């Protein structure tokens, strides 16, 4: 049972001090009585606090001394008891450890046995989970294993048969592909031959056509040149005839221009406008006469 710790001051006394001292105030810097009352009250409270702290230290010192004695006695007793306890624990551990070893060895052997079953079934493509194989008896497991082996052998035989069938199909496909390739090659060669013959035939036809076209063009050129020569002769004759026919007109035109340029008295005009009009008319007439003369001389 915990001991009650007692100090020299009670909670009632503290409550009384709280009521009295918390009401104290200092009116100002000149309130000497108020300052003195507050100071005395603070010193009273401080004194009580110091007494409580001193008492605390005394009690802790006594408690620490007692604690050291209790711990020392407990350590002594423990030192006497531990060898006995350790001996007894060692004796127990020898048996406990051996039992645990045997148990673990049995469990490990059982796990190895079950894992061997799992691995054996896996060899024949018949996997089963651990928790399903574990409770099976040897006879039950053997039945499952025999069934797995039987199904595995049947699957092997079926696989071999399918592989053989696939090989036969592949061989047939290979032969068919080889025959098709040979036919395709022969067809290509025939087509190549036909194209070559066709190209040679077209080249021969083109050469013959080119020869015919060349002969036709040469004949046409010869006819065209003869026609152009005949036309040239006709044109020259017509030009000569035209010039001959124009000879009298040429002479007439020259004579007319010469007669038109004979001196004649210009009319006597008074107004500037009339004189300007006359001058312009004479200039225009001279230009026209010159054009007529040039035409006649050129002809």
Q: Which phi and psi angles does 22 have, rounded to 5°?
A: -70, -15
Whether residue 1 has pLDDT greater than 50: no
CA distances from residue 3 to 6, 56, 59, 63, 291 in whole angstroms, order as listed: 9, 14, 12, 11, 164
* pLDDT 10s digits, 10-57: 888 888 889 988 988 988 888 889 899 899 989 989 988 888 888 888
* Phi-psi domain of 56 (left: phi exceeds 0; alpha: psi -120 through 50; beta: other): alpha
- Tallying the residues shown for the chain, one arrives at 299
Between these two residues, 265 and 182, which has the higher pLDDT value? 182
CA distances from residue 48 to 42, 45, 52, 262 in whole angstroms, order as listed: 10, 5, 6, 172
What is the token pair recorded at 222?
């010869």
Between these two residues, 253 and 143, which has the higher pLDDT value? 143
Distance of CA 125 to the CA centre of its chain: 43
CA 236 to CA 284: how far, in whole Å?
Answer: 36
pTM: 0.31
14-37 as b/e: b if 16+ CB within 10 A: eeeeeeeeeeeeeeeeeeeeeeeb
- Of 52, 39, 40, 47, the closest CA to residue 10 belongs to 52
Percent pLDDT > 90 in the chain is 8
* pLDDT 10s digits, 221-232: 888 888 888 888
């Amino acid at each position: 049972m915990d001991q009650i710790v007692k100090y020299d001051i009670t909670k009632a006394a503290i409550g009384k001090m709280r009521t009295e001292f918390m009401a104290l105030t200092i009116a100002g810097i000149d309130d000497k009585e108020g300052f003195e009352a507050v100071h005395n009250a603070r010193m009273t409270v401080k004194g009580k606090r110091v007494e409580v702290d001193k008492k605390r230290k005394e009690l802790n010192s006594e408690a620490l001394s007692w604690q050291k004695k209790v711990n020392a006695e407990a350590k002594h007793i423990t030192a006497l008891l531990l060898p006995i306890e350790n001996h007894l624990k060692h004796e127990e551990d020898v048996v406990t450890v051996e039992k645990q070893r045997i148990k673990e060895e049995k469990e490990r052997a059982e796990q190895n046995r079950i894992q061997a079953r799992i691995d054996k079934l896996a060899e024949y493509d018949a996997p089963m989970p651990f928790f399903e194989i574990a409770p099976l008896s040897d006879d039950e497991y053997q039945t499952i294993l025999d069934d797995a082996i039987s199904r595995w052998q049947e699957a092997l035989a079926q696989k071999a048969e399918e592989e053989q069938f696939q090989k036969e199909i592949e061989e047939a496909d290979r032969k068919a592909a080889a025959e098709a390739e040979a036919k395709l090659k022969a067809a290509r060669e025939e087509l190549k031959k036909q194209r070559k013959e066709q190209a040679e035939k077209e080249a021969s036809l083109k050469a013959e056509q080119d020869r015919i076209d060349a002969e036709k063009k040469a004949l046409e050129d010869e006819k065209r040149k003869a026609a152009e020569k005949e036309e040239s002769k006709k044109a020259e004759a017509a030009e000569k005839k035209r010039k001959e026919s124009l000879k009298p007109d040429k002479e007439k035109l020259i004579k007319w221009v010469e007669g038109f340029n004979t001196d004649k008295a210009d009319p006597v005009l008074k107004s500037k406008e009339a004189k300007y009009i006359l001058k312009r008319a004479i200039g225009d007439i001279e230009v026209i006469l010159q054009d007529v003369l040039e035409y006649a001389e050129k002809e």
